[in-house]
């Protein structure tokens, strides 16, 4: 009888493993493209000094972001992220195409920036102070002047003298 049980246990184990094996696919990370990927052929068509903002907009489409300070710059940002179970998404690839214009709106230069040129930033941990939340020592002492009525603690302040 013990020899007959062994094939049943092996069969049950095989069926269990076959049933659980497809579930292992959720552990594998999936890659997702994100952003505005600019085709290399389209980049080759850009001619600095010749094309205007309207030409670049017609060729590449709307930018992902624009520069806030300084010269007029459009950014086309794309990347590939990897979704990992139980963890934050990982940025696998990143490409930023910076299109710079001069003051007249003519294309000045095109710059391609990849993930290797990215810089780590350290967020600031301090908190911006809000005015009015802290009082100085003098403010604490002088802040109570005129706050309490002259009749004592139990008296409710009413209207001032001469008011009916």
Place of tokens 């963890």: 87
> For residues 94 and 37, is the Cβ–Cβ distance under 8 A?
no
Is pLDDT larger for residue 66 or for residue 91?
A: 66
- The structural domains of the chain, with segments of one domain joined by +, span 27-117
Cα→Cα distances 65→7, 71, 89, 97, Å: 64, 14, 22, 11
pLDDT at residue 51 in the model: 92
From the candidate CATH numbers 3.40.50, 3.90.1570, 3.10.20, 3.30.1450, the one assigned to the domain spanning 27-117: 3.30.1450
124-147 tens-digit pLDDT:
888 887 776 677 778 777 777 766
pLDDT at residue 101 in the model: 94
Q: What is the pTM for the complete model shown?
A: 0.57
pLDDT at residue 1 in the model: 47
């Amino acid at each position: 009888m013990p020899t007959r049980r062994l094939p049943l246990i092996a069969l049950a184990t095989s069926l269990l493993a076959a049933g659980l094996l497809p579930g292992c696919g959720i552990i594998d990370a999936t890659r997702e493209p994100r952003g505005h990927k600019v085709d290399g052929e389209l980049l080759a068509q850009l001619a600095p000094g010749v094309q205007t903002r309207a030409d670049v907009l017609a060729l590449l489409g709307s930018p992902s972001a624009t520069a806030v300070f300084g010269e007029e710059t459009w950014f086309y940002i794309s990347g590939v992220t990897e979704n990992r179970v139980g963890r934050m998404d990982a940025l696998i690839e990143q490409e930023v195409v910076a299109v710079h214009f001069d003051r007249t709106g003519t294309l000045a230069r095109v710059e391609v920036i990849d993930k290797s040129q990215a810089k780590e930033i350290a967020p600031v941990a301090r908190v911006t102070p809000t005015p009015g939340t802290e009082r100085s020592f003098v403010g604490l002492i002088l802040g109570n002047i005129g706050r309490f009525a002259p009749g004592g603690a139990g008296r409710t302040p009413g209207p001032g003298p001469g008011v009916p």
